[in-house]
Chain A
Amino acid sequence: MTSFFDVLLGGVFHASVLFLVAAGLQLVFGVQRIVNLACGSFYALGAFFGITAVNWSIGHGAPQWAFLPVLVLAGIVLAAIGPFIELLLRSVYKRDEAFQLLLTFALVLMFQDVLRFFWGANPQQLGNLSMSYGKVAIGAVSFPTYNVLVMAASLAIAVGLGVFLSRTRYGRILRATAENREMAEALGADVRWIYASVFTLGTMLGTVGGALVVPTAAASLDMPVELVVEAFAVVVIGGLGSMRGALVGALIVGLTRAAAISFYAELEVLAIYVIVIAVLVARPAGLFGKPVE
């Protein structure tokens, strides 16, 4: 039973980070109909910027325990790049999807060099800060408190996003714009503003995700591509554009990976993509996606 909980917690932790990146991808696609390959770059930017912010804050006398709020704040501040990138995307909103993919892929490559320019090419880490919050131990199951906080933060963001999109006036406007942009515009919705704010929110999910994960891992130039591949598996399983799909898809991918690693480590990637193929064959729109009419 102890082993089961260890594996379960490992899978849920991975799913928590995946969810944040996939949620950003889903939000942007759901409203703006753009498949944003650069979501992995925002994740990497958040990780590198998070390290800089924490080192700066500790260097200026901030207590060590404050690194978690500093990381969240760093992710939020960094999302300020969102509106500028959205300006770039305006040129391809009405163009073929291939142009949109090319533009966002170009952004991935450009951000690689931005990371290299500001932070160098070597992986960077935050020492042992993640352990400064101690461990949660229930019986023989032991898990770093920081990882539990990341899972809780991810869950809170999922719930918050759900409430925002379904219960608030602005959320309803967003959903209306996602359903029918022209009609929303005709009814007075400021679509330009909506697109900018949605893209910024999507960016923020990625940057906060990257900042939160870095104390337990490392920031490296390989991050954007590594994570975006898994994020797309989440999106395919959950359904493109669905927030519920992002949550369920992330859990499926995270838990499948953890189980595969435990039972037969060589099948780590294969197990995930067997599910992806099964979903594509049986339910092409994904578990929560809308079928194309």
Chain B
Amino acid sequence: MTIQRRKILQGLGSAGAAVAAQGLLGVPAFAQSKPLRIGIIAPKAGVVGTIGECGLRGTQFAVDRINAGGGIAGRKVELVVEEETNPKDSIERLRKLVLQDKVDCVQGIVSSGVSLAMGAVAEEMKALLIFWDGTTQDGVRETMQNPRYVFRSTDNECEAVMASLLAIKHWKGKFATYAGINPDYSYGRNNFAAFEALLKKFGVEAKKVAEQWPKVGTLDLTSHVAALKAAKPDLIFSSLLFADLPIFMKTAHGAGLMDGKTRFAFPGAGFQHTLLKKEFTPEGMIFGHNTLYFALDNASPLQRYFVQDYEAKYKDYPHWEADRAYFAMHIYRAGVERAQKAKNAWPGQEDVINAMEGLKVESLGGPAEMRKDHIAEQTFYQGITTHKNRYDFPTLTDVTRMYSDQLQKPTGMDFWKWIETANIKL
């Protein structure tokens, strides 16, 4: 079933005024058999278009299963999908979903630039909002210490922390110089800074010989690769993760950057895994697949079923955005059902929010929960690339699995202070 903008897909009848007034206003519903309406805001175009597409497929999978099982606490789910673009327009779409479409909950958002601005608006509107992949961090500083209506994803730096730990674990003592090529916005800057902070924490004495900061969407990386090659680093840390990552890989391969002894760590490679073909993506690199590694050997039956379903429907293999979207839908479902059970009546929005705090669910990628400060904890996967598989792109060997409570700062703590003082084990 396809998701279409402004089109309700899973409906069993029109949503009436009672349902519309329920949800966001916290007024008990008069007709609880009416479908729950959930608004989704996701990117559909540009360098993050494929990311949004995968997330929407994860949402659709979740909704199909929920509806097939009788809905959320007996109410079917309808989706109203809007496009994530810039912060201003995306916020307008949030208002439209809440005020015009009268949705019960809004989910989505990939860009932290959008979620940072949208979080405050949702709080003001008292609109229940669950981010897929967006945070409310200004850099690494949390701007919403005590949100009531906004629930956000894990810190963006989780994958950088994990890739840094793996690089240190596998290669400490084997590299004397390092370089970085990271996207020129807070995500890339913070990730590289986190990598350097962890090198320091674990006493790795290596010298930085180059750092490159291409803009997101840079399509010619020839000169960046030439500069990296000229610096002759033993290790390159790169959190490129959009369409620029395959371009970097091809360009670096063509320029001979991968012919020597240089090692590579790509914390966000999983976003582009199917485009990183074996011909130009060598074995032995650290790849991060974030919260969903589609080819996990001991994956849960849920993940195995999802991956098979995804492959059959889309002739493709999912990445972590599908998991983030699935998690958002399921933490909401679990929250509603927990609140309904406790109240023995249809819960209001405040009841659902209270129920979601501290709630644990099984997401596609494994165990996950929503902390009481409204920040998600999820299971992360990274490993070393291998060509020994049936695909035309590398998968992972020596997969490491970490729960994000080992990768992100605790409630209210400064990120850099946490790196300095935390008892992080390799």
Do A265 and B227 touch (CB < 8 A)?
A: yes
A229–B68 CA distance with the chains assembled, in angstroms: 52
Contacts between the two chains (Cβ within 8 Å), count: 121
Q: Is there a chain A Cβ closer than 8 Å to B277's Cβ?
A: yes
Closest to A122 in B: B49
Q: Is the interface of B mostly helix, strand, loop or mixed?
A: helix
What residues on A are CB-neighbors of B225 within 8 Å?
10
Whole-angstrom distance from the CB of A238 to the nearest CB of chain B? 20
* Interface range, A side: 35 or more
Check A130–B226 contact: CB distance below 8 A: no
CA distance A230 to B125 in the complex (A): 43
A7 touches B247 (CB 8 A): no
Q: A140-B256, A142-B254, A265-B213 are in contact. List 12 more A-B contacts (CB 8 A).
A: A7-B223, A14-B223, A121-B46, A122-B49, A123-B46, A128-B250, A128-B280, A147-B222, A213-B219, A216-B251, A261-B223, A265-B227
Residues of A with C-beta under 8 A to B53: 122
- Interface pair A14/B219, CB less than 8 Å apart: no
Q: Which residues from chain A contact B47 at a C-beta distance below 8 Å?
A: 123, 220, 222
A9: chain B residues within 8 A (beta carbon): 222, 226
Distance to closest chain A CB from B216 (angstroms): 9
Q: Are B220 and A143 in contact (CB under 8 A)?
A: no
Give the B interface residue count (CB, 8 A). Answer: 35
Interface check A90, CB cutoff 8 A: no
B277 pairs with A128, CB closer than 8 A? yes
7 nearest CB pairs, A to B:
A3-B230, A121-B45, A142-B256, A144-B254, A10-B226, A123-B243, A10-B223
Given the interface pairs A218-B247, A226-B217, A265-B213, the reply to whether A10 lies near B50 with Cβ below 8 Å is: no
State whether A131 touches B46 (Cβ < 8 A). no
Is A7's CB under 8 angstroms from B230's CB? Answer: yes
Return chain B residues, CB-CB under 8 Å to A131: 250, 253-254, 279-280
A226-B219 CB under 8 A given contacts A131-B250, A218-B247:
yes
- Interface assignment of B426: CB less than 8 Å from any CB of chain A: no
For residue A116, which residue of chain B has the nearest CB? B45
Q: A223 on the interface (CB 8 Å rule)?
A: yes
Tell me, in angstroms, the Cα distance from A7 to B256 when the chains sit together: 13
Cβ-defined contact, B219 with A221, below 8 A: no
The answer to whether A221 touches B223, judged by C-beta atoms less than 8 angstroms apart, is no
Q: CA A220 – CA B212 in complex, angstroms?
A: 22
A6 vs B45: C-alpha distance when bound (angstroms): 34
How long is the Cα–Cα vector from A2 to B277 in the complex, in angstroms?
A: 28
With an 8 A cutoff between CB atoms, is B211 at the interface?
Answer: yes
What residues of B have a CB within 8 angstroms of the CB of A257 in the complex?
Answer: 223
Chain A residues within 8 Å of B, Cβ to Cβ: 2-3, 6-7, 9-11, 13-14, 17, 116, 120-123, 125, 127-128, 130-131, 135, 137, 140, 142-144, 146-147, 213, 216-218, 220-223, 226, 257-258, 261-262, 265-266
Q: Mark B196-232, 1 if CB is under 8 A from A, else 0.
A: 0000000000000001110001011011111101100
Complex CA–CA separation, A123 to B47 (angstroms): 6
Q: Which residues of A contact B226 (CB under 8 A)?
A: 3, 6-7, 9-10, 258, 261-262
The CA-CA distance from A177 to B50 in the complex, in Å, is: 48
B193 at the interface (CB under 8 A from A): no
27 CB < 8 A contacts A-B: A6-B226, A6-B229, A7-B230, A9-B222, A11-B223, A121-B45, A122-B49, A123-B47, A123-B50, A125-B243, A127-B279, A128-B280, A131-B279, A131-B280, A135-B256, A142-B255, A144-B254, A147-B254, A216-B254, A218-B246, A221-B46, A226-B219, A261-B212, A261-B224, A262-B223, A262-B227, A262-B230
What B residues does A266 contact at CB under 8 A? 213
CB distance from B258 to the nearest CB of A (A): 10
Chain B residues near A14 (CB-CB < 8 A): 220, 222-223
Among B47, B213, B250, B253, find the residue whose CB has the most chain A CB atoms closer than 10 A: B250
Q: Is B371 an interface residue (CB 8 A)?
A: no
In the complex, what residues of A have CB within 8 A of residue B217's CB?
A: 220, 222, 226
Q: How far is the CA of A158 from the CA of B135 in the complex (A)?
A: 50
How many Å lie between the Cα of A123 and that of B246 in the bound state?
11
Cβ of B213: which chain A residues have Cβ within 8 Å of it?
265-266
- Asked whether B46 lies within 8 Å of A142 as measured between CB atoms, the reply is no
Contacting residue for A7 out of B227, B243, B246, CB 8 A: B227
Chain A neighbourhood of B279, CB < 8 A: 127-128, 131
